[in-house]
Amino acid sequence: GAVVSQHPSWVICKSGTSVKIECRSLDFQATTMFWYRQFPKQSLMLMATSNEGSKATYEQGVEKDKFLINHASLTLSTLTVTSAHPEDSSFYICSARQETYNSPLHFGNGTRLTVT
């Protein structure tokens, strides 16, 4: 089945630093990937749609200059949290879409970010 790998699974950083999270589709090509954020005991909230070779599309209320997304290849999208603050601490999850007709989304195992 479709496998989406996310790295790192857990990261702690100091306030003001930047953190990069990688999302890879291991056995398929994905022109579109999605980045979600999940707070404790809450559901997933879509942050942005990442498109290979073009700019990401951000959801309303998500700061594009703070959450930088790069989708430079058909198997890799990265999310960089710039100048992180404690309120950015959350569980970040990516998903990727297979390019076969009407394939559902598969998710990575998430990255737990803690900003101290």
Under the binding rule (CB under 8 A), the answer on residue 28 touching other proteins is no
CA distance 85 to 46: 20
Residue 17 within binding range of other proteins, rule CB under 8 A: no
104: its two tokens = 């559902």
Of 14-22, 61-69, 79-87, 100-108, the segment contacting other proteins by CB under 8 A is 100-108
- Beta-carbon contacts of 52 under 8 Å, excluding residues fewer than 6 positions away, are 30, 31, 32, 71, 72, 73, 74, 77
Q: For other proteins, which stretch binds (CB under 8 A), given 11-19, 35-43, 66-74, 77-85?
A: 35-43
Q: Which of 29, 83, 103, 116 binds other proteins (CB under 8 A)?
A: 103
> Is residue 66 a contact point for other proteins (CB under 8 A)?
no
**How big, in percent rounded to 5, are the helix, strand and coil portions of the chain?**
5, 50, 45
Q: Is 86 helix (H, G, I), strand (E, B) or coil?
A: helix
- Nearest approach, Cβ of 52 to other proteins (angstroms)? 14
DSSP code for 3: -
Check residue 32 for interaction with other proteins (CB under 8 A).
Answer: yes
Which residues lie near other proteins (CB under 8 A)?
4, 6, 32, 34, 41-46, 49, 91, 93, 95, 97-98, 102-110, 112
